[in-house]
Chains A and B, each alone.
Chain A
Amino acid sequence: MTASQRFLDLLEQHGYDFFTGVPCSLFDGVTRILDRNPKYGYVSAVREDSALGLAAGAYLGGRQPVVFMQNSGLGVSVNALVSLNQIYDIPALLVVSWRGRDGNDAPEHLIMGEMMEDFLRLLKIPYALFEPATLERDVDALTRTMRDTRKPVALVVPKGTLQQ
């Protein structure tokens, strides 16, 4: 079984049952599975803030959503996060890729890559780095925080973990 399938199984074990987002090559393995398997009901969104809207609607209808996005999409998502999710107590797990980490990427990713952790802290979004060794514990802790606070939390996906 691939790391991507194990990750999706782990999310389902933690109650996640609505999947939407915008793809990134860093989690291509996950999106391929979501695209091909109708059981996930994956909604391919047109923009990251629209994905947050879809997830909010799913939450209002009783689901526990996951939103996949590249970190460039965090920029698109700021207003939805602060004027929808955070003030309305609408949670979601954000799975955010980390393009531009360590300054080693295409130019358009370098600034967001450098500021992303500060950016998440500024937006008051608790996050963990995707590490295979601690993934189960981190998903468990993030999910508890998300349910307790009813606010978004994030799992940051570096290069090389979910591409297959």
Chain B
Amino acid sequence: MTRAEAVARVADAMPPDWLTIVCNGMIGRELYTHADAPSRFYMIGSMGLASSIGLGLAIVQPARTIVVLDGDGNVLMNMGALGSVAAASPANFFHVVFDNHAHGSTGDQCTISDRVPIEKVAAAAGYRRTMRAHSAGELDHTLTKFFRETGPAMLLVEVERGNKPGIGRVEPSPAELTARFRLSAIG
């Protein structure tokens, strides 16, 4: 399964009012191109911080569902944040990691996630539930239950390397993304 296909399948399982933080790199561009919404916050820098941002949001908005769309390179860069999520243990926090064992935006150079199972690290840190999807069929099956049970939960999705040719860029400016996201989060 390509990453763009996996992102689209996950996005289709998320109602637009759920608050979503997307890490920097191609994942945000793929989500934006497939299904943009004001409740979706796309990072273009600060690699590694998506889970921290999502955690801060989950703590102050306990009645909302918070989804973090992340990559293997991103999680590995700030792995300590998995401990922060587990320690705070927000029931409304759902972490989806698209794992291609590579830094997709910079040319598919190897990460170390082929030898370091990220969802097992999350489980050891104290996430309530962790899962791994190896295929599109498994992903569809897992998605029927993943978001329905209590968090913090991580779903690791194995995806192929490579980027979709001609994928669009996120059009709103960073400041515009903040303003529209806050409106959808706070009302």
A150→B44 CA distance, assembly (Å) = 18
Smallest CB-CB separation from A83: which chain B residue? B45
Q: Pick the residue among B43, B50, B60, B175 that contacts A61 (CB under 8 A).
A: B60
A67→B44 CA distance, assembly (Å) = 22
B147 within 8 Å of A (CB atoms) = no
Smallest CB-CB separation from A61: which chain B residue? B60
A61→B88 CA distance, assembly (Å) = 17
Q: Pick the residue among A45, A57, A62, A79 that contacts B53 (CB under 8 A).
A: A57
- B78→A50 contact, CB < 8 A: yes
CB distance from A48 to the nearest CB of B (A): 11
A56→B83 CA distance, assembly (Å) = 18
Task: Give residues of chain B (17-75) contacting chain A, Cβ–Cβ below 8 Å.
Answer: 19, 21, 41, 43-61
- B56→A88 contact, CB < 8 A: no
Main secondary structure of the interface of B (DSSP, over half): helix
A8 within 8 Å of B (CB atoms) = no
- B46→A79 contact, CB < 8 A: yes
- B52→A57 contact, CB < 8 A: yes
- The segment from B116-124, B138-146, B162-170, B179-187 found at the interface with A is B179-187
**What is the interface of chain B, defined by CB distance below 8 A to chain A?**
19, 21, 41, 43-61, 78, 80-81, 83-84, 88, 174-175, 177-179, 181-182, 185-186
